[in-house]
């Protein structure tokens, strides 16, 4: 939808998923490194800033990227899927 509206959209595989690098050390997956990956993508694309949008785990990543790198983020949005168990019986 965003691309159809004329925005340049990038949907990367996060560290450890898909075709991305898979570091062995668990410390390489902390939020500092993962937020840095998004900044690295901006650098690789030659972009100074971006509006970051994340879904599920990516929601936390874009929030921290905006927090840790405010000069690189024009804003952020998230699409969180809240998980709750269904109650049985009458409400």
* 88 belongs to a structural domain: no
Taking only the tens place, the pLDDT of each residue in 41-82 is 999 999 999 999 998 888 899 999 999 999 999 998 887 766
Q: What domain range is 15 assigned to?
A: 1-82
Q: Dmax over Cα atoms in the chain, in whole Å?
A: 56
| Alpha-carbon distances of 53 from 26, 57, 71, 84, rounded to whole Å | 25, 11, 16, 23
Contacts of 58 (CB under 8 A, 6+ apart): 14, 78
Task: Report pLDDT for 81.
Answer: 63
**DSSP helix/strand/coil, 78:** strand
Q: Is the predicted pLDDT of residue 91 greater than 60, yes or no?
A: no
* 89 belongs to a structural domain: no
| pTM of the predicted model as reported, rounded to 2 decimal places | 0.79
Number of structural domains in the chain: 1
């Amino acid at each position: 939808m965003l691309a159809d509206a004329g925005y340049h959209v990038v949907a990367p595989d996060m560290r450890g998923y898909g075709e991305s690098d898979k570091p062995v050390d668990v410390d390489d997956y902390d939020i500092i490194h993962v937020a840095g990956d998004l900044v690295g993508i901006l650098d690789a694309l030659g972009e100074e800033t971006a509006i970051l949008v994340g879904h599920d785990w990516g929601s936390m990543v874009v929030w921290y990227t905006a927090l840790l790198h405010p000069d690189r983020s024009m804003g952020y949005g998230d699409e969180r899927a809240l998980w709750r168990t269904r109650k049985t019986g009458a409400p």
